[in-house]
Amino acid sequence: MEEVKKEFGKHYLIELIGCDKEKIQFLKDVQEPFLQAARKSKTKILKHLFHQFEPFGVTGVIIISWSHFAIHTWPEAEYVALDILTCGEMDPEITIADLKHAFNAQEVNVKIIPRGF
């Protein structure tokens, strides 16, 4: 991981690959697991917003203190792009593991980029 002199957070860019497409098509299947997984990372959710695409595919964002979670699903490719900008004591690994399980992902790639200057 690169370094910055003054770090304000770490940005996790996560690719969830080989997901069960039945589990990532609709809001009803994505929203609650995403919110639950975010809550388990020891953070407080301030606001959240989701969008259902037609015929399938979901985008969701969760605002936490000076940070966010975002998710985009591509059921036709069995792929989910997840990103987590962390702050303070939160533990994104729990969220990642939970969503890997929820969507039955076969492979997970994570990049961690420090944010700051």
- What backbone phi and psi angles, to 5 degrees, belong to 42? 65, 45
Cβ atoms 70, 83 nearer than 8 A: yes
Q: Report in angstroms how near the CB of residue 105 gets to a copy of itself at its nearest.
A: 11
Cβ atoms 78, 103 nearer than 8 A: no
Q: Report in angstroms how near the CB of residue 11 gets to a copy of itself at its nearest.
A: 6
Where do contacts with a copy of itself occur on this chain (CB under 8 A)?
Answer: 6, 8-9, 11, 13, 15, 17, 46-49, 51, 53, 57, 59, 61, 63, 65-68, 70, 72, 74, 77, 79, 81, 83, 85, 107, 109, 111, 113, 115-117
Residue number, 58 or 102, with CB nearest to a copy of itself: 58
Residue number, 8 or 26, with CB nearest to a copy of itself: 8
- What backbone phi and psi angles, to 5 degrees, belong to 102? -60, -40
Active site residues per annotation: 67, 72, 87
Closest C-alpha among 75, 77, 24 to residue 50: 24
Residue number, 63 or 88, with CB nearest to a copy of itself: 63
Residue with tokens 């939970």: 98
